[in-house]
Structure 1
């Protein structure tokens, strides 16, 4: 799946998939500087990332997923990510700048807001997505993976980029494979492009981070 159709996808396709897209793309996080690792390893990440107080990012997503009817769908759009402490607010937009959903996640609760609908609330993001879509995503893990670091909640296999030992090439954790395809050019830092895949239930996510 390529990013070339991001700005050219027909409006009708977004209307058909808008509600499902809203929750599926709650995974669209942003990258920051990588924690150096050395070769393939199995380890736990340090908890330092969770103590950082503020992150704000913008980017584009392309996702292939299976809906509740067993149909494979593709969707594209943009996202804005705001993190204050442990609270994340993610705004999902279609390529025309229209809001698809706003997802708010904190240790105490999670809320999904869709235009012209009442907000839906649950104790956490996984429960919310499971209840509304029939599947859930490891949002807390993705917060770390998209910062090019394993989540501190479980053991993970990491592979260092052979061309640059200070950067990760891959993380395998909790049934997900996270591939780091590009990093920002100096003087900028952080992840520029990454792919996330999961086999069961199947989900493929491609992200390009603009900042």
Structure 2
């Protein structure tokens, strides 16, 4: 899939008038939106998680198959807030309205949709799949966006031959191929553009990190 799919997301949204996300998202586009929020931590855990706090802001495009095998596309903006083992992911449409808020912690995963009670589950991937129709690999992304392989399973890492700092060009792990297309220009650091592809079930994710 060409990467200009993200670049033209806003224009496509205005032409079609709908994001095509899921039935739940269509309800939001009729005029309802969640208010963005950040995860909270207790005083007990704050001192332990300060050094692992990360935040990302950017754009996403997802191509997936729905339960009937029909190819669907979803795109928009995202905010990622990571504090220790807790990740809060906000998905917003091209107009800036919050479509869904996903919170993942070791003990619980929660997903909020506009005008609906929060849904809880033990597994964030299962929760997103059942509610949104696709699941972002939240646990893997915690490491892949750094960028590095997750320490929880075996991985095959190919380094960027054009860089002398040992940064990865590609990581293969847990059925995913993570392709690092661009890094931020110096003096900035970090990932700029990354594609994630899984063959079974088919899922194609494109991310552009603006911050």
TM-score in terms of structure 2 length: 0.79
Which residue is equivalent to 1:87?
A: 86
Q: Which has the higher contact order (CA 8 A, sep 6+)?
A: 1
In structure 1, C-alpha distance between the alignment counterparts of 2:73 and 2:92, rounded to whole Å: 15
Corresponding residue pairs, total: 184
Which residue is equivalent to 2:208?
A: 208
In structure 1, C-alpha distance between the alignment counterparts of 2:57 and 2:104, rounded to whole Å: 17
Q: CA deviation at 1:148?
A: 1.2
Task: Evaluate the alpha carbon distance shift between residue 74 and residue 127 of structure 1 in structure 2; reply closer, same or farther with a 3 A threshold.
Answer: closer
Kept after mapping to 2: 8 A contact 1:150/1:171: yes
Which residue is equivalent to 1:196?
A: 196
Which residue is equivalent to 1:58?
A: 57
Q: CA deviation at 1:133?
A: 5.3
Unaligned runs of 5+ in 2: 27-48
Kept after mapping to 2: 8 A contact 1:88/1:105: yes
The answer on 1:156 being equivalent to 2:159 is: no
- For residues 45-124 of structure 1, what are the structure 2 equivalents within 5 Å? 52-124=51-123
Q: CA deviation at 1:196?
A: 0.4
Q: CA deviation at 1:132?
A: 3.2
- For residues 12-23 of structure 1, what are the structure 2 equivalents within 5 Å? 12=16, 14-18=18-22
SS at match of 1:10: helix
In structure 2, C-alpha distance between the alignment counterparts of 1:126 and 1:85, rounded to whole Å: 19
Which residue is equivalent to 2:42?
A: none
Q: CA RMSD in A?
A: 2.2
Unaligned runs of 5+ in 1: 23-49
Q: CA deviation at 1:123?
A: 1.0
Kept after mapping to 1: 8 A contact 2:171/2:179: yes
